[in-house]
Amino acid sequence: MSDSSEDELNCGDDHEKTSWILFKDRDEWSDVTPLPQDDGPHPVVSIAYSEKFKDAYDYFRAILKSGEKSERALALTEACIWLNPANYTVWQYRREILKALTKNLYEELKYTDRMIKYNSKNYQVWHHRKVIVEWLQDPGEELAFIETILCKDAKNYHAWQHRQWSIQTFNLYDKELEYVEQLINEDVHNNSAWNQRYFVISNTTKFEQDVIDREVDFALKKIELEKGNESAWNYLRGILLHDSKGLGNNERVRHKCEEMYKKGCRTNHLLACIIDICQEKCPSDGDSTSLFQINIAYELCNDLSKQYDTIRWRYWDYIASQLAIKLKTDSSN
């Protein structure tokens, strides 16, 4: 935190800025002896804490040692959190104070609203919100609140993690597919949204064939929009893991891949998919069909290694070498 941010005692609310008063200069804290941090007699690299930080945390250590749970102690935790939102001990002690004082937990949710606004990628504040929702057993505001965060950062890991926890814990699946589809339509590359779609499907279906067919069609339509979109290709593969026919025998996928290839598409994801299809379709008896499929996969590995996915050339050369061995073995049978 910069010093200018530290001066904003009310978590950055522009209309409520007040000057920071050191705790040692506050009359209500005159009965507490601050407890300095003990870095040992010969600290190797001393951190240059600001005066505000050192003052607040010296008083926090004092009340932590004494076990004081009061309104002023609660206010002190807020100051300490604002100075360092990642301090687990302060958050934990704040929760202990909330319980001891039987505070209004809905007000605490509003507090986390403000803190997440300024620390949206901080694990501790999200964990604190999770605990408060668990205590309340009321997720009524969670999905709408998370949407406001995702509107600013659609790939915020902590927001998605909290959303999945909320949905799974309180069975809030009803309209999630529609929401996720909206996000994918807005940004087809949003891997977090694709992951959320898989999460919902996994937890609400048994991957019946009609579900698999529907999701395969959905993925293929999005691939058609952006053929190099890794998220959609990965989703397609994930869905086909649940198909008893496998990747190699899904005619819809095979025909689509052949069509894209014939039209000149050479994205590494398409070529990798064709390689997998060829390998999966290869029978083990070494007949002409097997040799043909292996040879196609071998040539595509060389294309990827030398032209379309050169950053992973070692991987594709390795796959090609394994195919060459199989090609030689099958030819001799």
pLDDT digits (tens, 9 = 90+) for 273-319: 999 999 887 755 555 677 888 999 999 999 999 999 999 999 999 99
pTM for this model (two decimals):
0.88
Residues 250, 240 contacting (CB under 8 angstroms): yes
Residue 220 CB neighbours (<10 A): 17
Residue 140 CA to residue 133 CA, distance in Å, equals 9
Q: Which CATH number fits domain 18-103: 1.25.40, 1.50.10, 1.10.3470, 1.20.120?
A: 1.25.40
Helix axes 176-186, 191-204, angle to 10 degrees: 160
* Residue 254 reports pLDDT greater than 80: yes
pLDDT tens digits, 1-53: 444 444 444 444 433 446 899 999 999 999 999 999 988 887 787 788 999 99
In DSSP terms, which residues pair with 18 in a beta bridge?
8
Residues 162, 124 contacting (CB under 8 angstroms): no
Question: Which among 196, 21, 5 has a CA at the least distance from the CA of 119?
Answer: 5
pLDDT given for residue 44 in this prediction: 81
Looking at the chain, the whole-number percentage of residues with pLDDT higher than 90 is 81
At residue 8, what are phi and psi to the nearest 5 degrees?
Answer: -90, 90
| pLDDT band, residue 234 (cuts 50/70/90) | very high
Catalytic annotation, residues:
121
- Which amino acid is present at 42? H
* Residue 54 reports pLDDT greater than 50: yes
Residues 274, 296 contacting (CB under 8 angstroms): yes
pLDDT given for residue 283 in this prediction: 58
Residue 24 CA to residue 57 CA, distance in Å, equals 11
Q: Please report, for the chain, the start and end positions of each structural domain, with discontinuous segments joined by +.
A: 18-103, 127-206
C-alpha separations of 331 from 290, 295, 326 in Å: 10, 11, 8
pLDDT given for residue 290 in this prediction: 75
Residue identified by tokens 């959905």 is 218
pLDDT given for residue 104 in this prediction: 98
Residues 76, 53 contacting (CB under 8 angstroms): no
Question: Which among 169, 124, 130, 135 has a CA at the least distance from the CA of 146?
Answer: 130
At residue 227, what are phi and psi to the nearest 5 degrees?
Answer: -65, -20
Looking at the chain, the whole-number percentage of residues with pLDDT higher than 70 is 92
pLDDT given for residue 206 in this prediction: 94
Helix (H, G, I), strand (E, B) or coil at 246: coil
Residues 99, 131 contacting (CB under 8 angstroms): no
* Residue 32 host element (H or E): none
- Mean pLDDT score of the chain: 91
Pair of tokens at residue 116: 């997440």
| pLDDT band, residue 65 (cuts 50/70/90) | very high
Residues 103, 71 contacting (CB under 8 angstroms): no
pLDDT given for residue 284 in this prediction: 55
